[in-house]
Structure 1
Amino acid sequence: MFMRTTKTQQAQNHRLLIRTAVDLMTQHGFDDTTMKQIARTAGLGDATIYKYFPTKEKLVLAYFEQAIGDALTRMGKTKGLASFGLQERMQLLMDCVLDELLADREFVALAYQLVGRLPLSLLSDALPGKAALRTAYAEMLEAAEASGELAPCGFKGSLAGLLADSVYAVISHWLRDSSDQFANTTQLVDMGLGVLVLALRSGLIDKLLELGGFVLRSQLTRLLQDGNGLTGLMQLARQGLHNATTAKPKAQA
């Protein structure tokens, strides 16, 4: 008698196929790993894998979708999250994403070539996990406004999309980071978020997005991909914004 696969079994098979593909592709490479090999190693029928993933490329993209979903779930379970400020929440999200990818870093480096082969792909709405990331960032901005941490921002949707794009740009930098415990990436993210929050508090981001959201978005993505000299630039920008937001008006003569 034909037995229908339950949703729980489907979810388990979905994860099993991704895990198996990660292990095989890490060992043999993307081109030398076949769909049949993945299915058989996972203990599933040759045709079954195609019910979940029509191509190897789709399987690779599903890995990132799953990793980002798991990172957001982990973030949501963080104790005391409700008391976190905007910068702390954004930092936590990025930390959770990189923690999810860390064990599979060799595979991520291999798979990332498929995801980010073209620079413009970093700005695509089709990026795996981007919709979930954009929603998470939009909720963070809403919470910061509701708490009075930030003044009302008229471009939360555009900014949330920019932040979602920047996650993939940070991953690209992280994959090339050879510093101890990825200290350079940590510093880059910390500086970048510090500048962003100061700019939001000053109203600068709102004005820049109004003037040219796409240009700002593409330039930030390019800078985060490169990373060379960006930390110093972030330090200068943070200091300048801090001075601008804390400076007292000069006394009139």
Structure 2
Amino acid sequence: MKTTRQQQEATRRQILASAVDLMTRQGFDGTTMKDIARAAGIGDATIYKYFPTKDRIVVGYLDDAVQQALDAALQTPGFAGYQLQEKLQRLTDAVLEHLLADREFVAQVRTLAQRSPLSMLAEPLAARQRLREAVASFLEAAEASGEIEPCDFKGVAGSLYTDYLAGVVTYWLGDTSDEFADTAQLVDLSLGVLVQTLRSGLVNRVLQLGGFVLRSQMARMAQHRSGLLGLLQLARQTVGSAPRREQAGEDAPPAPARKPRAARPSAASASKKRKGTP
């Protein structure tokens, strides 16, 4: 009997859930495709119709998690009226919220990515393309409202954001502060620096330096936690003190007031959701 699309999607999700559970308990190397198939209640050969390798299962999990987080962020009440920084913060928070329940598994994924980076980067993830489009739309809306100066690198901003997001997740995995307060500060400071830079019209400097910093330095700096936060605080103060360019004979309009941020998961809810989180 031919399976429907809904049945196929249900099987796919069951495979992912079983893989996450097994790999969390047994490790990536200690889990086989046969183990996952049997835990998912499907035949040993059937699993290969959905995922040819364990690496693809991991990538499938990440793709689903990010897409669900993006959907959740876009469906936030009043999201369309958020300012640029609030939109990016809400999206970043949503990703961390979706990864929270599987935090120990995500830590294994990070180790796998460091061991075999090409297996992660080579995949044409649908979530990656959606992130690029979403960030570009955020920038377009900010331009249209006069919140930021016009910028001509909206096409690459999404790619930079995915690199930034990977750095935030790496930092979050090592964050032992109460309710991940250090990660919240990192996100607030770093996105604050970005938006203030865009408001100041320093777009060319962002274009020249942003890709290098995010791609080459974020993961390394995340290991020096206090130093990274201090650098971001200094950067925000420096960029925030730069005068904004005047527009056609009149002062640039002041930036509208920020909307309150979405609440982060509490320590109590985090402890209930986490599976063996350190």
What TM-score, normalized to structure 1?
A: 0.88
How far residue 152 of structure 1 moved from its aligned partner, in angstroms, is: 1.2
2:112 aligned with 1:114, yes or no?
yes
2:69 aligned with 1:76, yes or no?
no
**CA deviation profile, 1:21-80 (whole Å, cap 9, x unmatched):** 001111111111111111111111111110010001110111110100110111121101
2-structure distance, mates of 1:222, 1:121: 18
2-structure distance, mates of 1:98, 1:50: 30
Matches within 5 A, 1:1-253: 3-117=1-115, 124=121, 126=123, 128=125, 129-209=127-207, 211=208, 214-222=211-219, 225-228=222-225, 229-245=227-243
The residue number in structure 1 matching 2:249 is none
1-structure distance, mates of 2:132, 2:245: 33
**CA deviation profile, 1:165-198 (whole Å, cap 9, x unmatched):** 1111110111111111111111001000000000
- One-letter identity of the residue aligned with 1:221: M
2-structure distance, mates of 1:150, 1:102: 33
Q: Which runs of 5+ in 2 are unaligned?
A: 247-278
Q: Which runs of 5+ in 1 are unaligned?
A: 249-253
**CA deviation profile, 1:109-160 (whole Å, cap 9, x unmatched):** 11221124367889x4647432222221111111111222112101111222
**SS of equivalent to 2:185:** helix
**CA deviation profile, 1:209-236 (whole Å, cap 9, x unmatched):** 1x46643443453455435311111111
Checking the alignment, whether the CA contact within 8 Å between 1:173 and 1:224 is kept in structure 2 is no
Task: Decide whether aligned partners of structure 1 residues 119 and 38 sit closer, same or farther in structure 2, where only a CA change above 3 A counts.
Answer: closer
Task: Decide whether aligned partners of structure 1 residues 186 and 17 sit closer, same or farther in structure 2, where only a CA change above 3 A counts.
Answer: same
**SS of equivalent to 1:109:** helix
**Structure 1 stretch displaced more, 113-122 or 135-144:** 113-122
The residue number in structure 2 matching 1:251 is none
- One-letter identity of the residue aligned with 1:215: F
- One-letter identity of the residue aligned with 1:22: V
1-structure distance, mates of 2:238, 2:77: 34
**Structure 1 stretch displaced more, 15-24 or 143-152:** 143-152
How far residue 205 of structure 1 moved from its aligned partner, in angstroms, is: 3.1
2-structure distance, mates of 1:242, 1:125: 38
Checking the alignment, whether the CA contact within 8 Å between 2:163 and 2:215 is kept in structure 1 is no
- One-letter identity of the residue aligned with 1:164: T
Checking the alignment, whether the CA contact within 8 Å between 1:155 and 1:206 is kept in structure 2 is no
How far residue 245 of structure 1 moved from its aligned partner, in angstroms, is: 2.5
- One-letter identity of the residue aligned with 1:241: V
**Structure 1 stretch displaced more, 131-140 or 15-24:** 131-140
Task: Decide whether aligned partners of structure 1 residues 224 and 4 sit closer, same or farther in structure 2, where only a CA change above 3 A counts.
Answer: farther
Checking the alignment, whether the CA contact within 8 Å between 1:75 and 1:96 is kept in structure 2 is yes
Checking the alignment, whether the CA contact within 8 Å between 1:200 and 1:206 is kept in structure 2 is no
Checking the alignment, whether the CA contact within 8 Å between 1:192 and 1:234 is kept in structure 2 is yes
Higher relative contact order (CA 8 A, sep 6+): 2
**SS of equivalent to 2:241:** helix
Task: Decide whether aligned partners of structure 1 residues 144 and 172 sit closer, same or farther in structure 2, where only a CA change above 3 A counts.
Answer: same
Q: Percent identity?
A: 50
**SS of equivalent to 1:245:** coil
Checking the alignment, whether the CA contact within 8 Å between 2:69 and 2:91 is kept in structure 1 is yes
How far residue 239 of structure 1 moved from its aligned partner, in angstroms, is: 1.0
Checking the alignment, whether the CA contact within 8 Å between 1:101 and 1:108 is kept in structure 2 is yes
